[in-house]
Homo-oligomer: A and B are copies of this chain.
Amino acid sequence: MKKNNLKKEKAVVLFSGGLDSTTCLYWALSKGYDCVALNISYGQKHIKEIACAKNICAKLGVKMQSLNLNLPWLEGATSLVGKNKVLPKASLKEIHNKNRLPSTYVPGRNLLFIALAASFADSIGATAIIAGPNAIDYSGYPDCRPQFYTPLAKAVKEGTSGALTGKKIKILTPLLKLSKAQIAKLGAKLKVPFSLTWTCYKGGAKPCGKCDACLLRAQGFKEAGILDK
């Protein structure tokens, strides 16, 4: 019996259409998971990512579940959502200062994303949640660190139906300890179509090249010696 005739394990992949989550999706498929992508919009400015996400899922034949959240308290709490806030022009030195909380921090975002993925996974019988945070080049976000994901993984196992049935839901964060350069290398190895992914915090026709996300991506590709199309 061939391995791919076995019933595959279902996974929910948190998927924005950016470089990291696209690499995660390709990673999950390469590991044999039966993937559903979960795309969450919370009013962020970089909605261009959503179009990229749809394209990539269509190319892969992966089903994408979209979700629109309207969280009134985010207006004013993060520069990614507020109407009048200006995205910061960061320098890489500032990004790597782990003691500052950048204005692009979205309060509770990754907790909320995992909670939504857990609710979705528990509803459809998926036993894995795959997410793409990385702790090395993490822009100073507290919710991109192992100190957060380790207890959260336990909470998800104990707080969903698997705690009773035995089929516990696990959280996989394959990029957590990788640098952007290592992610670019992994993406290249997995044949991720870099040109279809979107990273910039702004929603312009082309990436701005100046925001945290653009700077980190450019630095990663440069260090990896890979051309970013």
- A interface vs B, CB < 8 Å? 65, 67-74, 76-77, 98-99, 101, 105-112, 114-116, 118-124, 140, 142-143, 145, 147-149, 151-152, 154-156, 158-161, 163-165
Task: Please report whether the interface of chain A is mostly helix, strand, loop or mixed according to DSSP.
Answer: helix
Q: Please tell me if the beta carbons of B148 and A159 are within 8 angstroms of each other in the complex.
A: yes
The 8 Å CB contact of A143, one of B77, B123, B159, is B159
Residue on B nearest A76 in the bound complex, by CB: B123
CA distance A105 to B161 in the complex (A): 9
Q: Please tell me if the beta carbons of B107 and A161 are within 8 angstroms of each other in the complex.
A: yes
Identical copies of this chain, number: 2
A191 to chain B, nearest CB (A): 30
Residue on B nearest A106 in the bound complex, by CB: B119
Q: Please tell me if the beta carbons of B123 and A77 are within 8 angstroms of each other in the complex.
A: yes
Q: Please tell me if the beta carbons of A115 and B111 are within 8 angstroms of each other in the complex.
A: yes
Q: Please tell me if the beta carbons of B155 and A142 are within 8 angstroms of each other in the complex.
A: no
CA distance A150 to B148 in the complex (A): 13
A66 to chain B, nearest CB (A): 9
Contact partners of A156 in chain B: CB under 8 A: 111
Contact partners of A159 in chain B: CB under 8 A: 108, 110-111, 142-143, 145, 148, 152
Q: Please tell me if the beta carbons of A68 and B70 are within 8 angstroms of each other in the complex.
A: yes
